[in-house]
Amino acid sequence: MDLKEILYGLFGPNSTVDACAGSPSTASTSGTFNSHGRLPKNPLLDALAPLLGGQLSPLLRALNLANNILGARLGLPIDPSFLLTLAVAAWAINRFARQLYHALAVIVTAHFMASITVASTDEIYVHMMKWLAVQPLVTTSRSLMVETAAHSAWEDDEDQIDALQLRTIAGGGDEKYLNFSNQQANAPPRFVPAIGLHGFWYGRRYFRLQRKHQSFLDDNSGGARGSTGTTLEKEEVLVISCFGRSTTPIKTLLQAVKQHYYSDHVARTTIKRPSPQPLRRFNGRNWATVAVRPVRGLRTVILDAAQKSTVLADMNEYLHPATPRWYANRGIPLRRGYLFHGPPGTGKTSLSFALAGVFGLDIYVISLLEPTLSEEDLGTLFSSLPRRCVVLLEDIDAAGLRRPQEEIEEEEASEAPATDKKTRPGRGPRASVNGDKESASHDQPAAHRPREDWKVSDLARALKAPGAGGDDRKGISLSGLLNAIDGVASQEGRVLVMTTNHPEALDAALIRPGRVDLQVAFGNATSEQARELFERMYEADAAKNDAAVEKSAEATQNGQAEDKGAEVGGGDGVEGLSHIAAAFGSKIDDGLLSPAEIQGFLLKRKKDPKKALRETDRWVEAMKAQKENKTKVLTVQ
């Protein structure tokens, strides 16, 4: 092979270099050229040449050069036209096979498979993704999506105690302190199937999962601020399918997925709040889970035993499956409302949480002070509640409910001649905490009060007043709340719990029978309740001490048992703790301190009940002085 043949291979048959000028032996050596020194004719190449344009000539030149080199040295001639024909044929076969596969897949899916679609706005979507994250055939897929797994404080594993980092700090002496700087680094992420097709086996049956996005026209956007008409929205869906013409296997799978999701919720209570406004209006997600906490025992709530029994019996009868028919036969709406009222820190919210745990219900918390919450949103939230749940409206007296301007002007006109009155028509007497001076300031409209007397509730009322911020529809009115609670379109079967520190400040229409069926009064702790609270705080450690003493007695190691007891709860067993708790309760006057104040004092001494008893007298005297002086600064804690 000489230089002329190489140049001919580089520049093609149209080159000015004549391949025939070379030696005859060279032309016969290469099997690429014909007798005229040109590339062999190929009808397929001639047909593809106009389509490929200038890309054909460089490709043939490269293949021709490779043919000359390999053919001359190794005796392996490569025909460029044959290779190109083979490549085009392979491409055509691949395209045909793909189209055939998709056509067969459409036929099989339409006639031989059943499917169920799950929208991302539904709770079953969350259940399915959690279940898929632990399936081995899905987690080992080559197409995954990573998510940050959020864990609450109650979900931390106890084996993480061994991995805790202890560090000393400057000026802290030899004491070692916990450091959680590597907590997020050690937390593993969660892997779920990515967008696309996935397959897995369940119950000896093959299932196909398709995760995709689909577009839809949203007609509800016309009511949103700044938008008009119909908009094109996107949502994610899961399409679960299996072979067969029945969806029963998929339904069985979804039921198992739901049971798996709630398997760890048996001893926990789920707390939900309204989703952000964009999710509520455009994605249909009205509620979002904010916390999953362990069930709180009813005995941990400091309340009179008779009142506890009354609330439990009333709610148990209301939630019975036979109750709806009883209500329907008598034409009574299936609703139940409770009002928990009393001073702060007496256990109103705690009782709501404990009742939800007793009956296994979720808690739906609604804050009427939410700036983005309108009356329309409130009605939508109530209508989307499940059949059985607990709806919690905390501090309803400070919710900033507004009434129509006509009623406000009429009420102010009726009260103008008698400025020294402490009551209003249709409402109870106003609560006075700091005497007549504070009561008089509260009788004034919020806009005319001194700046130092303003509260958060006054600011909420000012923001939600008609015309505030240029939007007369902003805020929740009293009539809007009443319509959401027991209007024609209101959801039935739920349990409504309202808490307040000042029941006299509530409107009579809000707490009338039918909306509030049972009122529960909370108060400061009695001496007996203080004893129960003290005993409950240390009883677990006392039981450990008894077990340690019993174990050491069996091993005849009394000295070691004393050391072990000194480490847990001060070394007193259950019997010794009862005497200490009785002594503690005798030092607490009835109605002096709230359960929250007593619990806060004991938490600072949670490992030593004897120390708590020794410091009780000094703490009680300091609390009495604080309440007499009406100060908020604690001198002894």
Residue 441 lies in a domain: no
Which range of residues forms the domain containing residue 200?
A: 110-216+233-268
Long-range contacts of range 401-404, CB-CB < 8 Å, 24 or more positions apart?
401/368, 401/476, 401/477, 401/478, 401/481, 401/507, 402/461, 402/464, 402/465, 402/466, 402/475, 402/476, 402/477, 402/478, 403/477, 403/478, 403/479, 404/477, 404/479
> Which of 27-31, 119-123, 137-141 is predicted with the least confidence, judged by mean pLDDT?
27-31
- Residue-averaged pLDDT of the chain: 76
- Per-residue pLDDT, averaged over 215-228, amounts to 54
pLDDT value at residue 167: 76
Residue 325 lies in a domain: yes
pLDDT value at residue 79: 61
Confidence band for 540, pLDDT divided at 50, 70 and 90: confident
- pLDDT beyond 50 at 6: no
Q: Which of 390, 569, 425 has the alpha carbon at shortest distance from 509?
A: 425
Q: Which residue has the higher pLDDT, 111 or 571?
A: 111
- pLDDT beyond 60 at 203: yes
Residue 322 lies in a domain: yes
244 and 367 inside one domain: no
250 and 331 inside one domain: no
pLDDT value at residue 61: 64
Largest Cα span, the chain: 129
Q: What percent of the chain has pLDDT over 90?
A: 33
CB 258 within 8 A of CB 118: no
pLDDT value at residue 354: 94
- Per-residue pLDDT, averaged over 584-602, amounts to 93
358 and 500 inside one domain: yes
Residue 41 lies in a domain: no
238-290 pLDDT, tens digit per residue, is 999 999 989 999 999 999 999 998 887 778 899 999 988 877 776 667 898 88
- pLDDT beyond 90 at 496: yes
Q: Which of 344, 339, 349 has the alpha carbon at shortest distance from 314?
A: 339
pLDDT value at residue 179: 76
pLDDT value at residue 441: 43
303 and 398 inside one domain: yes
> Which of 85-89, 258-262, 579-583 is predicted with the least confidence, judged by mean pLDDT?
85-89
pLDDT value at residue 517: 94
301 and 391 inside one domain: yes
Long-range contacts of range 223-228, CB-CB < 8 Å, 24 or more positions apart?
223/281, 223/376, 224/281, 224/282
> 491: domain CATH number?
3.40.50.300
Report the chain's C-alpha Rg in angstroms: 39
pLDDT value at residue 62: 66
Give the residue ranges of DSSP H helices in 416-455.
436-443
410-422 pLDDT, tens digit per residue, is 555 665 554 444 4
250 and 156 inside one domain: yes
pLDDT value at residue 409: 57
- Per-residue pLDDT, averaged over 324-351, amounts to 93
468-494 pLDDT, tens digit per residue, is 444 444 568 888 899 888 887 788 899
- pLDDT beyond 80 at 42: no
485 and 592 inside one domain: no
Q: How many domains does the chain have?
A: 3
> Which of 105-109, 427-431, 617-621 is predicted with the least confidence, judged by mean pLDDT?
427-431
- pLDDT beyond 70 at 37: no
pLDDT value at residue 313: 95
Residue 74 lies in a domain: no
- Per-residue pLDDT, averaged over 602-623, amounts to 92
- pLDDT beyond 90 at 35: no
> Which of 418-432, 451-465, 498-512, 537-551 is predicted with the least confidence, judged by mean pLDDT?
418-432
288 beta partners? 273
Residue 408 lies in a domain: no
pLDDT value at residue 324: 93
499 and 397 inside one domain: yes
pLDDT value at residue 516: 94
CB 230 within 8 A of CB 238: no
438-449 pLDDT, tens digit per residue, is 444 444 444 445
pLDDT value at residue 417: 53
263 and 398 inside one domain: no
- pLDDT beyond 70 at 329: yes
- Pick left, alpha or beta for residue 401 (phi over 0 → left; psi -120 to 50 → alpha; otherwise beta): beta
Confidence band for 96, pLDDT divided at 50, 70 and 90: very high
118 and 201 inside one domain: yes
Residue 485 lies in a domain: yes
Q: Which of 142, 385, 163, 359 has the alpha carbon at shortest distance from 274?
A: 385
Three-class SS state of 247: coil
Residue 509 lies in a domain: yes
pLDDT value at residue 431: 38
pLDDT value at residue 616: 94
497-528 pLDDT, tens digit per residue, is 999 999 998 999 999 998 999 999 999 999 99
254 and 346 inside one domain: no
- pLDDT beyond 90 at 563: no
CB 466 within 8 A of CB 402: yes
Confidence band for 452, pLDDT divided at 50, 70 and 90: low
- pLDDT beyond 80 at 433: no
Report the length, in residues, of the chain: 637
Overall pTM surpassing 0.75 (yes/no): no
pLDDT value at residue 361: 93
> Which of 147-161, 493-507, 543-557 is predicted with the least confidence, judged by mean pLDDT?
147-161
- Per-residue pLDDT, averaged over 126-139, amounts to 85
CB 268 within 8 A of CB 294: yes
pLDDT value at residue 286: 87
534 and 492 inside one domain: no
311-327 pLDDT, tens digit per residue, is 999 999 999 999 999 99
